[in-house]
């Protein structure tokens, strides 16, 4: 039986009742350039035309504060690629804006940064 907050889309025994490819209409590539660290934010514009429940849920989740694609995927309980397709639909219709992550303050391939991460992981294990 589905939990009340999950609605008809999830079932405890069966899992997700609607397959992810149906959410994205079989599409596997978003039209907007999004990665897991991209930040999305609503514009206040309403999507024109019929959107699926995942689109509505994403808009309600994001609100006016910047939210990462990874966070949206986790809350929607969808694979990242499906979430990217849903969010790119909303970017295309003007309901969302997306900003790529900025690594200007830190070089992601900086040796000292990578060594610090490795040292932190070793301390935890």
State the residue for tokens 């219709």.
93
Integer-rounded Cα Rg, in Å, for the chain is 17
Answer for the pair 23, 78: CB distance below 8 angstroms, yes or no.
Answer: yes
Question: In the 3-class helix/strand/coil scheme, how is the chain assigned residue by residue?
Answer: CCCCCCHHHEECCCEECCCHHHHCCCCCCCCCCCCCCCEEEECCCCCCCCCCHHHHHHHHHHCCCCEEHHHHHHHHCCCHHHHHHHHHHHHHCCCEEEECCCCCCCCCCCHHHHHHHHHHHHHHC
Q: pLDDT tens digits for the chain (125 residues)?
A: 444 444 555 545 544 445 555 555 656 677 788 888 889 999 988 887 778 888 888 899 998 789 999 999 999 888 888 889 889 989 988 999 998 876 666 666 778 878 888 888 888 77
End-to-end, the C-alpha distance of the chain in Å comes to 39
Among residues 93, 44, 36, 92, the alpha carbon closest in space to that of 67 is found at 36
pLDDT of residue 49: 76
Would the pTM of this model clear 0.85, i.e. be above it?
no
pLDDT of residue 3: 44
Architecture per CATH, 31-102: Orthogonal Bundle (1.10)
């Amino acid at each position: 039986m589905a939990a009340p907050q999950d609605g008809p889309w999830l079932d405890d025994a069966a899992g997700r009742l609607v397959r992810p490819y149906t959410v994205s209409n079989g599409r596997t590539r978003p039209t907007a350039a999004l990665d897991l660290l991209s930040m999305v934010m609503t514009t206040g514009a309403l999507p024109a035309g019929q959107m699926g429940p995942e689109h509505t849920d994403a808009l309600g989740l994001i609100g006016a504060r910047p939210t990462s694609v990874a966070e949206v995927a986790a809350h929607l309980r969808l694979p990242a690629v499906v979430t990217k397709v849903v969010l790119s639909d909303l970017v295309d219709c003007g309901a969302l804006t997306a900003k790529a992550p900025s690594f200007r303050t830190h070089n992601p391939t900086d040796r000292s940064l990578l060594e610090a991460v490795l040292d932190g992981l070793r301390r935890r294990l």
